[in-house]
């Protein structure tokens, strides 16, 4: 019964702590990339080309962004309230989500009630659920033209830069990571030459056997070094047998004195010994057990 109560208490604590953890993670939420004039970039769920704002979760835990605010006016921080109850507002670790600045909030959770104006500086800010705590903000320069984006050099990092799809490093990445891994041409060429993986298998086996050989060599050297040190050490002296002189010597002295006194007719000598000493042992008895004569 006590175990059941503990389990229930831990479960309740987890339920209480989860919103707190989610709320704490929102403080790391960042505006990651923005496109003001979308002519041929990504389309929304209605097939329209609209300006978009990308938010990224750079933490190592999911973050629920429901109940936060997005705005293009610092004097009106609670301009757009992100609805609650939508499972899509939960951003997994390292992932991002897009909001469309199309002025059509009736189209769904990710459609804002404001738009961005090409050719002008556009201010964007994100506020926490209290409508007061600023999470992140950015001013998009007016120099952006069609299909250009203003993005962080890497997710949630600095600096900001203009992207125009002129190269892989300058690619526009709505909903994706801002840093695109560059393919390794050598690896790609090796894959083409070794389609069946035979060469890769041989290389792997060679690496394993080389590692085992090095390991065996290390054990051999350690054994040789240990043996040399042992041979150089002086031989230890053989242990000498030490008799239990305390009890046996005392018993021998007492017997000698007793025999001497018997021969001279002197008084008997009594020596008190520890009850557990050899003096009380029957093998050291000083008197002959009398025999009864019939």
For residue range 252-272, what is the model confidence (pLDDT) as tens digits? 788 887 777 776 554 555 555
Q: Domain 2-182: what homologous superfamily?
A: Lamin Tail domain (2.60.40.1260)
d(CA 30, CA 57): 7
Pull the structure tokens for residue 228. Answer: 């040399």
Answer yes or no: pTM beyond 0.75.
no
**Residue 285 confidence (pLDDT):** 55
Task: State the Cα–Cα distance between residues 121 and 143, nearest whole angstrom.
Answer: 8
Report the phi/psi class of residue 105: left, alpha or beta, with left for phi > 0 and alpha for psi in -120 to 50: alpha
Q: What is the pLDDT of residue 273?
A: 53
Helix/strand/coil for 230: helix
Share above pLDDT 90 across residues of the chain, in percent, rounded to a whole number: 54
pLDDT at 261: 75
Which of 8-17, 72-81, 230-239 has the weakest average pLDDT? 8-17
Question: pLDDT tier at 15 (50, 70, 90 boundaries)?
Answer: very low
Bridge partners of residue 161, in order along the sequence: 151
Backbone angles phi, psi at 216, to 5 degrees: -60, -40
């Amino acid at each position: 019964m006590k175990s059941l109560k503990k389990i229930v208490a831990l479960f309740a604590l987890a339920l209480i702590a989860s919103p707190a953890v989610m709320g704490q993670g929102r403080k790391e939420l960042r505006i990651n990339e923005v496109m003001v004039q979308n002519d041929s970039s990504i389309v929304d769920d209605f097939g329209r080309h609209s300006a978009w704002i990308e938010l990224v979760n750079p933490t190592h835990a999911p973050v629920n962004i429901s109940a936060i605010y997005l705005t293009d006016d610092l004097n009106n921080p609670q301009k757009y309230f992100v609805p609650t109850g939508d499972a899509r507002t939960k951003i997994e670790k390292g992932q991002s989500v897009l909001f469309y600045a199309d002025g059509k909030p009736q189209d769904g959770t990710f459609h804002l009630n404001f738009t961005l104006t090409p050719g002008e500086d556009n201010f964007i800010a994100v506020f926490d659920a209290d409508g007061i705590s600023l999470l992140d903000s950015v001013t998009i320069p007016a120099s952006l033209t069609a299909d250009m984006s203003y993005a962080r050099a890497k997710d949630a990092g600095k600096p900001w830069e203009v992207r125009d799809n002129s190269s892989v490093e300058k690619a526009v990445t709505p909903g994706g990571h801002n840093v695109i891994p560059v393919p390794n041409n050598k690896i790609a060429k090796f894959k083409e030459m070794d389609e069946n993986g035979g060469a890769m298998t041989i290389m792997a086996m060679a690496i394993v056997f080389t590692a085992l050989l090095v390991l065996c060599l290390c054990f051999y050297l350690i054994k040789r070094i240990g043996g040399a040190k042992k041979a150089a050490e002086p031989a230890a002296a053989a242990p000498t047998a030490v008799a239990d002189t305390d009890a046996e010597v005392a018993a021998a002295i007492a017997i000698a004195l007793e025999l001497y006194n018997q021969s001279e007719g002197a008084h008997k000598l009594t020596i008190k010994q520890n009850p557990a000493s050899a003096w009380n042992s029957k093998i050291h008895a000083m008197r002959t057990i009398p025999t009864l004569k019939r």
